[in-house]
Amino acid sequence: MATRKGKKITGGRYKKRRKKKSYELQTKPRIILLGKEKKKKMKIRGGNFRTFLLKTNKANIIDKKTNKSKVIEIKNVAEVPSNVFLARKNVLVKGAIIETELGKARITNRPGQEGFVQAILIPA
């Protein structure tokens, strides 16, 4: 006889020992859209602050051939390999391929947690 998760053999439920503490709670997922730059500060553990993006239209793009980086405007989100629907909404996530003035680039960081967008040029 297979038992279900969270249930006793008799069918009764297990009661939780305690509620989650504030540092154990998850934060809301942050969706970073393409648009005029908008940032927000959030208090984190230890009394520190973290800045994260809500919207942006600029990215730090690194060209591997010349080893130089430039801040360039993002035109469009071409594709997101992890989720097709995110590209339609112009959502910036790690691994997304963006269109810029220099060509296509791939986002290499997590903009929702770091407060900026880093990308590497994709050779054409």
pLDDT bracket for residue 121 (50, 70, 90): very high
Looking at the DSSP assignment, which residues form a beta bridge with residue 60? 71, 118
d(Cα 63, Cα 69) in Å, to the nearest integer? 6
d(Cα 109, Cα 65) in Å, to the nearest integer? 20
pLDDT tens readout for residues 15-37: 888 999 988 888 788 899 999 99
The fold of the 33-121 domain, in CATH, is 3.10.290
d(Cα 115, Cα 32) in Å, to the nearest integer? 10
pLDDT tens readout for residues 55-111: 999 999 999 888 899 999 999 999 999 999 999 999 999 999 999 999 999 999 999
Q: What local confidence, expressed as pLDDT, does residue 43 receive?
A: 87
H/E stretch holding 112 reads helix 111-114
Long-range CB pairs of 41-46, under 8 A, 24+ apart, other chains included: none
